[in-house]
Structure 1
Amino acid sequence: MELESSLRERLIDVGVDIVMTDGTALLGLREIARRAGVSHGAPRRYFPTHHALLSAIARRGFADLGSRFAAATDEDASPRDRLRALARTYLGYAWEHGGMFELMFRHDLLNSEAQPSDLPPLRESTLPLFAHIVELVTRHTEERTAAGPAVPPAVAAAALWTNLHGAAQLRTWGSLQLVLDATSQGAPDGGDPFDLLLDAVLDAHLGPVAR
């Protein structure tokens, strides 16, 4: 049993390495098996379908992103500053690890139930990350106004996440660079134009910074 678990984890490890270095194009069962040093039929003993193995690899991506969220935030910072740190981490992860980011949000994998029965559907891997955003949006709103939120915090958090995810995709595709034109429309004093974009996103969903 321990050997089987070790082999199963090695297949996932190899898949993670492939997607991190080469993207998703080489994530076939045969290539994963070859790099893991096992027969091409070996992955089927641990994963009933190709989707099941890809889901296990994507699950590692969510765990990695969660760890990066934890490392990026200062518990003593304001909720808004912590949300800004999370947003930068999210955009940075999508930019630096585009293959894994793409895999994590593939619709066919998120909806797939072909995985070990002791694991929840892949889509549920997003819930802890989203719950953290909702918590910070709630705390920010409570500190900002005694009148209560204009919309439920979960709705505001979903709108913020939607905006960030769209920005991440557009940056990966090169569209944001085109419209922001960093050479002439960038941030003042040679700053990063994406920082201006990030501030605009936060202002749109959290309200502008109080002066």
Structure 2
Amino acid sequence: MTRTSYHHGALRDALLAACLRLIETEGIAAVSLRRVARAAGVSSGAPYHHFADRAALLADLATQGFRLLTDQLSVARATAGSPTAALLALEQSYIRFAREQPGYFRLMFRPELSQPEKHPDTRAAGEAAFGVLAAAVDACVTAGELPPERAEPTALTLWALGHGLASLWLDGQLDKRGTLFGTTAAALIDSVVDGIPGFLGAGTGSPPVRPPE
């Protein structure tokens, strides 16, 4: 598109796409409205038709990322065969999202940049993504695979586990560990994720933990 051919909706989408490309190639620090405008092939004033400032642009992009993550997590959960299997599928889906969408992932958890308290849509989108995991953990409680009092700690632990593994992989740390032990980063992640049923006390030959009557 030339700078004169954008219509109103396409301009916003083009600016968001340009911002994402800039993050992926040069990092978040490289983002400015001027740089994004230049990458999108529009005038330096064009972004202000949609975004009040840099933080507003980053917040909208983070919101877009959270919604994409929510969609992928929802599919992973819906296609799993059991409540515990859903937790494993969610961990793998979360890590895969980070690998396939590093620009989104590096931005989405930087509140000092996206300012979610000033952008409620971003906060709501983030809560929706976590809600998929929380609902999957609740399903384990309902199935008798997890006591109710462990639901919230388990959800937070699984989030931390998935986020930590994803971050380590993106930063190249798991590749180093894999080389050291003669394996791959993907294999290391699989071995960790496969241990989740044992952490829950379900599967791997152990009887499921039943909630009190």
TM-score bracket for the superposition, by shorter chain length: 0.7 to 0.9
Question: In the alignment, does 2:87 pair up with 1:83?
Answer: yes
Contact 2:37 2:46 in 1 (8 A): yes
Q: Which residue of 1 aligns with 2:54?
A: 50
Q: What pairs up with 1:91-102 in 2 under 5 angstroms?
A: 91-102=95-106
Segments of 5+ residues of structure 1 without an aligned counterpart are none
Q: Which residue of 2 aligns with 1:34?
A: 38
Contact 2:15 2:36 in 1 (8 A): yes
Q: CA deviation at 1:144?
A: 3.4
Segments of 5+ residues of structure 2 without an aligned counterpart are 1-5, 206-213
Letter in 1 for 2:190: D
Q: Distance in 2 between matches of 1:86 and 1:76?
A: 9
Answer with 169-178 or 37-46: which moved more.
169-178
Contact 1:94 1:172 in 2 (8 A): yes
Q: What pairs up with 1:13-28 in 2 under 5 angstroms?
A: 13-20=17-24, 23-28=27-32
Letter in 1 for 2:125: S
Q: What pairs up with 1:131-210 in 2 under 5 angstroms?
A: 131-145=131-145, 149=147, 151-178=149-176, 180-182=177-179, 184=181, 186=183, 192-201=187-196, 203-204=198-199, 206-210=200-204
Contact 1:113 1:121 in 2 (8 A): no
Q: Which residue of 1 aligns with 2:124?
A: 124
Q: Distance in 2 between matches of 1:98 and 1:108?
A: 18
Contact 1:49 1:114 in 2 (8 A): no
Q: What is the aligned length?
A: 199
Q: CA deviation at 1:40?
A: 0.8
Residue deviations 1:145-164, cap 9 Å, x none?
A: 5xx61624233211210122
Q: Distance in 2 between matches of 1:74 and 1:131?
A: 14
Q: Distance in 1 between matches of 2:11 and 2:127?
A: 29
Fraction of identical pairs, as percent: 30
Q: Distance in 2 between matches of 1:87 and 1:46?
A: 35
Residue deviations 1:57-113, cap 9 Å, x none?
A: 121111221222233344461011122111111112222332221111112135345
Letter in 1 for 2:163: H
